[in-house]
């Protein structure tokens, strides 16, 4: 996924593909590859240490040891205690557990939840499900950069509010939220605060105490760990009902035999991802900033989505007027470039991104979005290649688009 022989663009706009071509992968917000160190940590638990960690004999204790070491690694990355970390099957389960679990535990106290209009569907859909059960949900607006105003959070809280849920960083436009300020507002009113940190872990330093976080969701495959693994941080003393019932695993909180290899891999991955966040961000952001700068310079009538500075170090999200995001993806794919349009988890949908619409972007411009998210294996050569292909792709699509102004002339870039 790093340096390789690429497509070469010749006069006339045709692409010539080398037989050994490998794609330029810039969709790390959708998923990441698993690092060799993570796979190496997992390997013994597929074969040698395959015992059920809930069993009492010595053979099973090796599995239990791996799980508890991973629990300590996750806790250290969050500034939490190991007993506050509970493993599950991924970020979606963790979000569902946090929202539905608090709602079930606190329904005698209140029936109101505050969240934002740009949350992942793993938060929005549980909230919608609770509304059908009689709960009330306030979906806060965001500014044009996708930021939630902590003042709006405070204004929305009532005596019936039991939970505030605002993501740490947005998965589509990369905007980082003022989480600590929102946490203070929630606690000032005696309300629990949950944050979906699935996109933030490894890119944003997190301390659950300093940021006033009571519940936090994360997913291993977003930071070079295995898919199907996740965790929910639950602050000690937080009242929450179980989502999955059955056996007594995870100290009676989450039933089901533990995915020991996956948990071990998640622990090693989060340890690697948080070892040098500042250095990681510095390298990735340099490529991101060049990508943003040159795309806005070279492609007229282009808009950068998300906050210009308070954004994830790897995220560049553009809207190109007069073209469709799906068409952009198909042509980029023909040149070996992997990217996404709108939300990666609903990329098959023809509806525009709810996130972009919430920032005030017109419907037709939201359809022309492209998200490029860089990762550890990307190089300056990858950026060079994308910058050599993308302007031609947009130009070609605009030539055939019925939305392009007469003569194919477009305005200067935003």
Cβ pair 78, 270 in contact under 8 A: no
DSSP label at residue 27: B
With vertex at residue 392, the alpha carbon angle to CA 328 and CA 408, rounded to the nearest 5 degrees, is 90
- DSSP string computed for 205-262: ---TTTTT-SEEEEEGGGGTS-TT-EEEEE-TT-----SS-SS-HHHHTS-S---HHH
CB 242 within 8 A of CB 101: yes
Q: Which helix (H) or strand (E) holds 358?
A: helix 354-358
Contact in structure between 136 and 111 (CB atoms under 8 Å): yes
- Name the 3-class secondary structure at 40: helix
Element (H, E) at 136: strand 136-140
User: CA of 184: how far to CAs of 43, 121, 152, 166, 188, in Å?
Assistant: 42, 25, 13, 13, 6
Q: How far is CA 387 from the centre of its chain?
A: 25
Q: Which of 17, 127, 338, 345 is catalytic?
A: 345
| 345: annotated active-site residue | yes
Read off the tokens for 289: 């900033």
The residues with which 164 forms a beta bridge, in sequence order, are: 114, 193
**Which sequence positions are flagged as catalytic?**
345
């Amino acid at each position: 996924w790093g340096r390789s022989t690429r497509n070469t663009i010749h006069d006339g706009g045709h692409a010539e593909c080398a037989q050994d071509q490998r794609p330029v992968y810039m969709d790390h917000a959708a998923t990441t590859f698993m690092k060799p160190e993570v796979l190496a940590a997992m390997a013994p638990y597929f074969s040698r240490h395959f015992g059920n960690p809930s069993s009492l004999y010595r053979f099973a204790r090796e599995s239990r040891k791996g799980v508890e070491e991973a629990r300590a690694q996750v806790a250290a990355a969050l500034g939490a205690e190991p007993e506050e970390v509970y493993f599950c099957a991924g970020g979606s389960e963790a979000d569902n557990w946090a929202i539905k679990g608090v709602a079930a535990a606190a329904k005698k106290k209140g029936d109101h939840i505050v969240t934002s209009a740009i949350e992942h569907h793993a938060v929005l859909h549980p909230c919608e499900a609770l509304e059908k059960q009689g709960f009330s949900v306030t979906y806060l607006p965001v500014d044009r950069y996708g930021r939630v105003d902590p003042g709006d959070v405070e204004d929305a809280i009532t005596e019936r509010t039991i939970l505030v849920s605002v993501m740490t960083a947005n998965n589509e436009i990369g905007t980082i939220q003022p989480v600590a300020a929102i946490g203070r507002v929630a606690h000032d009113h005696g309300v629990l605060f949950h944050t979906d940190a699935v996109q933030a872990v490894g890119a944003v330093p997190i301390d659950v105490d300093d940021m006033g976080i009571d519940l936090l969701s994360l997913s291993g495959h977003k930071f070079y760990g295995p898919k199907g693994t996740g965790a929910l941080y639950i602050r000690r003393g937080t009242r929450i009902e179980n989502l999955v019932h059955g056996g007594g695993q995870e100290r009676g909180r989450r039933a089901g035999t533990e995915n020991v290899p996956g948990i071990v891999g998640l622990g090693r991955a989060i340890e690697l991802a948080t070892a040098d966040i500042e250095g990681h961000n510095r390298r990735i952001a340099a490529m991101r900033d060049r990508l943003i700068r040159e795309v806005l310079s070279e492609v007229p009538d282009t808009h950068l989505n998300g906050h210009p500075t308070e954004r994830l170090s790897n995220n560049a999200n553009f809207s190109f007027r007069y073209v469709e995001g799906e068409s952009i993806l198909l042509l980029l794919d023909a040149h070996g470039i992997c990217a996404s349009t709108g939300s990666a988890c609903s990329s098959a949908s023809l509806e525009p991104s709810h996130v972009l619409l919430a920032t005030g972007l017109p419907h037709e411009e939201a359809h022309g979005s492209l998200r490029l998210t860089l990762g550890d294996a990307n190089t300056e050569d990858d950026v060079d290649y994308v910058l050599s292909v993308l302007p031609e792709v947009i130009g070609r699509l605009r030539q055939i688009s019925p939305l392009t102004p007469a003569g194919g002339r477009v305005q200067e870039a935003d």
